[in-house]
């Protein structure tokens, strides 16, 4: 169990994940975005002593908490600080072979969002960081301060789906250097009428987070290779939190289904039930897609 002083992150659609994964007690599984280990703990609880779960994450703080939380399962569980986009090479390196199921729960954990120093939330004052991997070279401040005005506008337009991207980019460009969340929020607030401010802030923050962590590139590169990592009959479950990710997953599943490589289980994405949406606000935007390798 998670200790009471460790940050809590409620796993999204836990019952749906377990039911769709339909665990084989002796099976081999991957949680590609292990986070604080919520889904991982559920999967491990369904495995026998011969079952195995490989966890991946790129956030060293999350890995530390997850390792501690899943200490009881140490003989069935191993976590690596690697991107899920590198899954096929990690499986080769650790000699794990093809697996029975892979879970990706994309986006950020409550540990990251609630952190007062990592710059993910526009409600917390800190350096404009936004890196999932604290060892990576490029943070949000460096992208904001070093990119051209049109590069900034493209980030906001494509990753934030914000129509006033050019205007916002101009204001950002005029006010550089920008190094803190507070400074950034003040500038963004002037770019939107009061009733649209929170939406604009959320979109712009999302866009730079996606750019800093190359989130869409990682997802696309994973989707090109994951089929080789799955056994025939193996399951892939991906939970995404915005339309950009969901569209990429949907297209990839459709393409593999057309080629006869995949059977799509969720013709429409599954969303959280009313009760979960009330209890866990993160679940409101979650969309789950599942498929089986043929």
Binding site for ligand SAM (CB under 6 A): 9, 11, 32-33, 35-39, 56-59, 62, 83-85, 105, 107-109, 132, 213, 218
Residue spans of alpha helices (H) in 6-163 = 14-21, 38-45, 60-69, 87-93, 110-113, 140-146, 149-154, 160
Sequence length of the chain is 294
Give the chain's largest Cα–Cα span. 60
Nearer Cβ to ligand SAM, position 187 or 211?
211
Quick one: which H or E segment has residue 216? helix 215-229
CA 271, CA 289: separation in Å to the nearest integer? 9
Work out how close the CB of 132 gets to ligand SAM at its nearest, in angstroms, rounded to a whole number: 4
Work out how close the CB of 189 gets to ligand SAM at its nearest, in angstroms, rounded to a whole number: 28
Work out how close the CB of 83 gets to ligand SAM at its nearest, in angstroms, rounded to a whole number: 4
Residue with structure tokens 């289904």?
A: 257
The sign of the dihedral angle between the CA atoms of 52, 106, 179, 115 is: negative
Nearer Cβ to ligand SAM, position 55 or 234?
55
Rounded to the nearest 5 degrees, what angle is found at the Cα of 288, between the Cα atoms of 154 and 201? 35
Work out how close the CB of 203 gets to ligand SAM at its nearest, in angstroms, rounded to a whole number: 19
Nearer Cβ to ligand SAM, position 118 or 250?
118
Nearer Cβ to ligand SAM, position 59 or 100?
59
Nearer Cβ to ligand SAM, position 90 or 227?
90
Does 90 sit behind a cis peptide bond, omega within 30 degrees of 0 on the bond before it? no
Work out how close the CB of 73 gets to ligand SAM at its nearest, in angstroms, rounded to a whole number: 14
Nearer Cβ to ligand SAM, position 21 or 58?
58
Quick one: which H or E segment has residue 53? strand 52-57
Work out how close the CB of 250 gets to ligand SAM at its nearest, in angstroms, rounded to a whole number: 19
Nearer Cβ to ligand SAM, position 60 or 190?
60
Cβ atoms 283, 272 nearer than 8 A:
yes
Collapsed DSSP state (helix, strand, coil) of residue 91 = helix
Neighbouring C-alpha atoms within 13 Å toward the C-beta of 155: 25
Work out how close the CB of 6 gets to ligand SAM at its nearest, in angstroms, rounded to a whole number: 11
Work out how close the CB of 103 gets to ligand SAM at its nearest, in angstroms, rounded to a whole number: 7
Q: How many C-beta atoms surround the C-beta of residue 265 within 10 A?
A: 15
Rounded to the nearest 5 degrees, what angle is found at the Cα of 90, between the Cα atoms of 88 and 92? 70
Nearer Cβ to ligand SAM, position 200 or 213?
213
């Amino acid at each position: 169990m998670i200790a009471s002083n460790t940050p809590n992150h409620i796993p999204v659609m836990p019952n749906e994940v377990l039911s769709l994964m339909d665990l084989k007690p002796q099976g081999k599984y991957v949680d590609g975005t292990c986070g604080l280990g919520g889904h991982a703990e559920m999967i491990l609880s369904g495995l026998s002593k011969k079952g195995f779960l490989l966890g991946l994450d790129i956030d060293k703080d999350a890995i530390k908490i997850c390792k501690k939380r899943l200490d009881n399962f140490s003989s069935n569980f191993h976590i690596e600080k690697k991107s899920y986009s590198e899954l096929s090479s990690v499986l080769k390196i650790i000699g794990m072979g093809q697996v029975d199921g892979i879970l990706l729960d994309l986006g950020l954990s409550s540990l990251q969002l609630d952190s007062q120093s990592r710059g993910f939330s526009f409600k917390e004052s800190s350096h404009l960081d936004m890196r999932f991997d604290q060892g990576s070279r490029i943070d949000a401040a460096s992208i904001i301060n070093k990119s051209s005005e049109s590069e900034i506008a493209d980030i906001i337009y494509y990753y934030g789906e914000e129509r006033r991207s050019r205007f916002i980019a101009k204001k950002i460009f005029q006010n550089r250097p920008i190094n803190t969340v507070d400074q950034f929020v003040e500038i963004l607030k002037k770019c939107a009428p009061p009733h649209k401010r929170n939406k604009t802030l959320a979109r712009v923050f999302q866009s730079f987070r996606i750019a800093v962590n190359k989130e869409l590139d990682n997802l696309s590169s994973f989707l090109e290779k994951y089929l080789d990592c799955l056994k025939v009959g193996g399951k892939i479950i991906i939970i995404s939190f915005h339309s950009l990710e969901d569209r990429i997953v949907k297209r990839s599943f459709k393409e593999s289904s057309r080629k006869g490589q995949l059977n799509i289980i969720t013709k429409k994405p599954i969303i959280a039930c009313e009760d979960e949406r009330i209890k866990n606000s993160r679940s409101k935007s979650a969309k789950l897609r599942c498929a089986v390798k043929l």
